[in-house]
């Protein structure tokens, strides 16, 4: 096998976002585009000679090709071993699990998460460090710096490796171990949750559920866990066969894109419990019969009830949430007498807190929750956590949530997404808001008085690193909030996210529709930001 040094030229657009590098497939198909970024990852790492790397992805179009490219380049760059999921598959939380269980050097995960797939869809690649979590900013900045000056990449002149059978193979001087992508993760879940009790609930004859894999990576994981280990019947699973184009769907588990599941859960004879996960398995949506659980409420409920599960029965060290996530979890932390950490959006910001033992459970409003068991958000983990609670409490999903509101108060909360808007217009909106910061304090909008407005900045309590410009906040004297933020997960145009929150302590006033309860804040958001003017949109693309 010949080691090749291939000349190349830099691309100017390989700056990783909050979850790695995401572009259209056609961008990655440009000459040396993928190879440049992979070599930039390797160039930015120290001590990789002879080390073990984990590789896998969500199975979207271009995944198989990319895995083969990475294997050849890893061998040429001196890795001693690569562990790769059979078929090139590994969900994002499963990849984190494998990195941590086998104490590997790190891993490369191929995914564009909840973005659409297929030949005309999106592709993504990110590097996770040895703790199993996404590379911190200092490493992604080093990757970007390497990508701007790269002049050559290293690879082997060798045929593709057979990835479809579990085996240990040789690629040059490097060992390739093709592993079962499901078993290590499923074993970890069984160690955290009471599978016997969940099995009894699922097979009680009085409980029914549906899980929607959205033709993405979690289908095989759901089949092993729900069917094989927990005894669910095959009709429990929907869209469980992974497809390279995710069946033509948009694998984002929300009320708009998981429409098939929503129609089942809000239809006649609806099951007791419904859930969905996204393209790479790190997000989740939780539904009861004709009832939607917001991700913010889900985080708060899981934290408040963690002691009911085997993996968390000894209590929580702390709770961490992203800044735009509702303050419902803050109230749980306060009652438990533990710390609440407010971080920027992006799971990498939770890594230091988890590693330092400061937090146990983390969550983002963007349908992501997780804990210190891995260093990624974890969709199936959240689903199993809910099933464990249902098995112990023997109440409906709606009853568990409403009793939580009665105990802690309800944080009415909603996120309005304006997807694919003109990037210049979205940038002008944010710039205009930044100029207003400090000038809104004391201003009244109907019954609301502004207490503060700022551009959120975060100082990491572990390493002291500072992250600025993480979202525009407008806070009111009654604790209500509006947050404006541009998302970094899209591949074309810009996505403006507007987050709205109002607290209600009175149980008699907690039963309103969230959009009705937040209607005045929605109007104020338009008045303050001029959303229609800057985006040209009359309404959000997605409301959750």
Query: 135-146: per-residue pLDDT in tens?
Result: 988 899 999 999
Mean model confidence pLDDT for the chain: 95
469 and 436 share a domain? yes
> Would you give the distance in Å from CA 542 to the centre of its chain?
17
pLDDT value of position 302: 98
Asked which of 166, 181, 196 is the last residue of a domain, the reply is 181
Residue 242 has pLDDT above 70, yes or no: yes
pLDDT score for 488: 60
Predicted confidence at residue 209, as pLDDT, reads 98
Average pLDDT over residues 363-382: 96
Co-location of 390 and 418 in the same domain: no
Q: For residue 437, name the pLDDT band (cuts at 50, 70, 90).
A: confident
Tell me: the pLDDT tens digits for 42-90?
A: 999 999 999 999 999 999 999 999 999 999 999 999 999 999 999 999 9
**DSSP category for residue 125:** E
The C-alpha atoms of residue 103 and residue 444 are separated, in whole angstroms, by 55
Q: Which of 384, 408, 198 is CA-nearest to residue 300?
A: 408
**What does the buried/exposed string (b/e) look like for 16-31 if buried means 16 or more CB atoms within 10 Å of the residue's CB?**
bbbbbbbbbbebbeee
Same structural domain, 436 and 342: no
Last residue of a domain, one of 408, 436, 463: 408
- Average pLDDT value for residue range 506-531: 96
Based on the fold, state whether residues 393 and 426 are members of the same structural domain. no
On the question of pLDDT at 333 being above 90, the answer is yes
Do 425 and 402 belong to one domain? Answer: no
pLDDT (0 to 100) of residue 1: 72
Q: Report pLDDT digits (tens) over 104-123.
A: 999 999 999 889 999 999 99
User: Which one of 19, 113, 414, 453 is the catalytic residue?
Assistant: 113
Task: Looking at the structure, tell me whether residues 344 and 426 fall in a common domain.
Answer: no
End residue of a domain, out of 181, 199, 214: 181
- Per-residue pLDDT at 110: 98
Residue 354 has pLDDT above 80, yes or no: yes
**Residue 6, beta-bridge partner list:** 153
User: What is the number of structural domains in the chain?
Assistant: 3
Q: Is 436 exposed, middle or buried (0-12, 13-18, 19+ CB in 10 A)?
A: middle
pLDDT of res. 544: 84
Task: Look at residue 489 in the predicted model and tell me its pLDDT.
Answer: 55
Beta pairing class for 318-322 and 52-57: unpaired
Answer yes or no: do 135 and 201 share one domain. no
For residue 442, give the CATH number of its domain: 3.30.310.50
Per-residue confidence at 492, pLDDT binned at 50, 70, 90?
low
**DSSP 8-state secondary structure symbol assigned to residue 225:** I
Domain co-membership, 92 together with 66: yes
Would the pLDDT of 295 be above 70?
yes
Give the residue among 418, 432, 390, 405 at the shortest CA–CA distance from 490.
418
Query: What pairs with residue 211 in β-bridges?
Result: 237, 275
Contact at 8 Å (CB) between 173 and 75?
yes
Query: SS3 sequence, 178-194?
Result: EECCCHHHHHHHHHHCC
State how far the Cα of 5 lies from the Cα of 76, in Å rounded to an integer. Answer: 9
Same domain as 416, residue 399: no
Query: Are 97 and 171 contained in the same domain?
Result: yes
Could you tell me if 56 and 161 lie in one domain? Answer: yes
Q: Running DSSP on this structure, what letter comes out for residue 226?
A: I
Measured between alpha carbons, how far is 1 from 355 in angstroms, rounded to an integer? 41
* Mean pLDDT within 196-220: 97
Does the pLDDT value for residue 226 go beyond 70?
A: yes
- What are φ and ψ of residue 161, in 5° steps? -90, 140
Residue 354: helix, strand or coil by DSSP? Answer: helix
pLDDT of residue 290: 97
Tens of pLDDT, residue by residue over 375-404, are 999 999 999 999 999 999 999 999 999 999
Q: Is the pLDDT of residue 491 over 80?
A: no
Domain range for 108 is 2-181
- 151 DSSP assignment: -
pLDDT value at 438 more than 90 = no
Give the residue-averaged pLDDT of 447-463: 94
Residues 414 and 446 in one domain: yes
- Residues with Cβ within 8 Å of 223's Cβ and at least 6 positions away in sequence, in order, are 237, 240
SS (H, E, C) 273-338: EEEEECCCCCCEEEEECCEEECHHHHHHHHHHCHHHCHHHCCCCCEEEEECCCCCHHHHHHHHHCC
| Model confidence at 490: pLDDT above 60 | no
3-state secondary structure 461-505: CCCCCEECCCCEEEEECCCCEEEEEEECCCCCCEEEEEEEEEEEC
What pLDDT is attached to residue 348?
Answer: 85
Q: Is the pLDDT of residue 289 over 80?
A: yes
Distance CA 222, CA 167 (A): 24
Average pLDDT value for residue range 12-16: 95
**204 is annotated as an active-site residue:** no
Q: What is the distance between the alpha carbons of residues 542 and 490, in angstroms, rounded to a whole number? A: 14
pLDDT exceeds cutoff 80 at 347? yes
Q: Which of 253-257, 339-343, 493-497 has the highest mean pLDDT?
A: 339-343
Find out whether 305 and 360 touch, Cβ atoms under 8 Å. no
CATH number for 164: 3.40.120.10
R_g (Cα) of the chain, nearest Å? 23
Q: CA 286, CA 458: separation in Å to the nearest integer?
A: 30
């Amino acid at each position: 096998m010949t080691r090749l040094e291939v000349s190349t030229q830099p691309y100017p657009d390989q700056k990783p976002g909050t979850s790695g590098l995401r572009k259209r497939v056609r961008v990655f198909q440009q000459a040396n585009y993928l190879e440049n970024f992979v070599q930039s990852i390797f160039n930015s790492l120290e001590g990789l000679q002879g080390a073990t790397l984990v590789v896998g992805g969500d199975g979207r179009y271009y995944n198989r090709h990319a895995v083969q490219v990475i294997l050849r380049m890893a061998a040429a760059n001196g890795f001693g071993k690569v562990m790769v999921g059979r078929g090139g598959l590994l969900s994002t939380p499963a990849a984190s699990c494998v990195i941590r269980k086998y104490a590997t050097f790190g891993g490369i995960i191929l995914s564009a998460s909840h973005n659409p797939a297929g030949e005309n869809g999106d592709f993504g690649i990110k590097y996770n460090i040895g703790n199993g979590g996404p590379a911190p900013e200092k490493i992604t900045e080093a990757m970007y710096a390497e990508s701007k000056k790269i002049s050559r990449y290293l690879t082997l002149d060798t045929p593709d490796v057979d990835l479809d059978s579990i085996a240990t193979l040789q690629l040059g001087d490097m060992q390739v171990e093709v592993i079962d992508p499901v078993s290590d993760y499923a074993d970890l879940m069984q160690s955290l949750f009471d599978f016997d009790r969940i099995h009894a609930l699922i097979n009680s004859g009085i409980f029914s559920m549906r899980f929607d894999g959205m033709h993405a990576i979690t289908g095989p994981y759901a089949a092993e866990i729900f069917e094989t280990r927990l005894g669910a019947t095959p009709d429990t699973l929907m869209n469980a066969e992974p497809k390279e184009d995710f069946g033509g769907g948009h694998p984002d588990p929300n009320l708009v894109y998981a429409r098939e599941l929503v129609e089942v859960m809000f239809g006649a004879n609806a099951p007791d419990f419904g859930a969905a996960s996204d393209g790479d398995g790190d997000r989740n949506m939780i539904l009861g019969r004709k009832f939607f659980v917001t991700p913010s409420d889900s985080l708060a409920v899981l934290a408040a009830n963690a002691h009911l599960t085997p993996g968390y029965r000894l209590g929580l060290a702390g709770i961490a949430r992203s800044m735009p996530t509702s303050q419902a979890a803050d109230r749980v932390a306060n009652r438990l007498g533990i710390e609440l950490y407010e971080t920027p959006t992006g799971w990498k910001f939770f890594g230091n807190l988890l590693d330092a033992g400061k937090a146990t459970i983390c969550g983002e409003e963007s349908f992501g929750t997780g804990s210190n068991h891995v260093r990624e958000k974890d969709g199936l983990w959240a689903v199993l956590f809910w099933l464990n609670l249902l098995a112990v409490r023997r109440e409906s999903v709606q009853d568990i949530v409403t009793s939580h509101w009665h105990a802690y108060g309800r944080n009415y909360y909603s996120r309005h997404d304006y997807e694919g808007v003109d990037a210049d217009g979205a940038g002008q909106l944010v710039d205009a808001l930044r100029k207003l910061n400090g000038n809104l304090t004391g201003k009244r909008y109907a019954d609301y008085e502004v207490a503060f407005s700022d551009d959120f900045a975060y100082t990491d309590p572990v390493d002291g690193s500072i992250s600025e410009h993480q979202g525009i906040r407008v806070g009111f004297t009654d604790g209500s909030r509006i947050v404006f933020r541009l998302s970094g997960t899209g591949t074309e145009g810009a996505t403006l996210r507007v987050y709205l929150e109002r607290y209600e302590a009175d149980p008699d006033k907690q039963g309103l529709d969230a959009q009705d309860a937040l209607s005045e804040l929605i109007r104020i958001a338009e008045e303050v930001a001029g959303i229609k003017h800057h985006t040209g949109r009359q309404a959000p693309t997605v409301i959750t």
